[in-house]
């Protein structure tokens, strides 16, 4: 059954779209998280004050939490769309039998 589904063009397209989405969001996530220790260790750009005693490092760190929540919500939304496409593929497979 899986081999037959894996040969379907609609399944191949779904896998391609899912890989593209997961790869791009993972790269974005990793770059954003890796930049914090890089910027704090090798530059002084995040040491400047924003408001009062709050520096950019606190703003950047907080934005990482916000980014994580946003990426989780985007993933949840996209996973729902992927699930609907899987249902269509399964229906297409069932109709071809």
Write out the two tokens for 32: 């954003």
- Banded pLDDT at 1 (limits 50, 70, 90): confident
Determine the Cα–Cα distance for residues 74 and 48; give it in Å rounded to an integer: 32
Average the pLDDT over 86-93 and give the result. 93
Q: Is the pLDDT of residue 70 over 80?
A: yes
> Domain residue spans in the chain?
2-96
Identify the pLDDT of residue 95: 84
Contact, 14 vs 82, CB < 8 A?
Answer: yes
Contact, 87 vs 11, CB < 8 A?
Answer: no
At residue 44, what are phi and psi to the nearest 5 degrees?
-115, 15
């Amino acid at each position: 059954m899986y081999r037959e589904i894996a040969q379907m063009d609609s399944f191949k397209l779904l896998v391609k779209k899912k890989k593209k989405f997961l790869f791009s969001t993972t790269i974005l996530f990793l770059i954003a998280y890796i930049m914090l220790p890089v910027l704090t260790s090798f530059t002084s750009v995040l040491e400047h004050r924003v408001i009062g005693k709050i520096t950019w490092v606190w703003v950047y760190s907080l934005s990482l939490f916000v980014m994580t929540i946003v990426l989780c919500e985007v993933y949840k939304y996209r996973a729902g769309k992927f699930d609907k496409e899987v249902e269509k593929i399964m229906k297409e497979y069932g109709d071809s039998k």
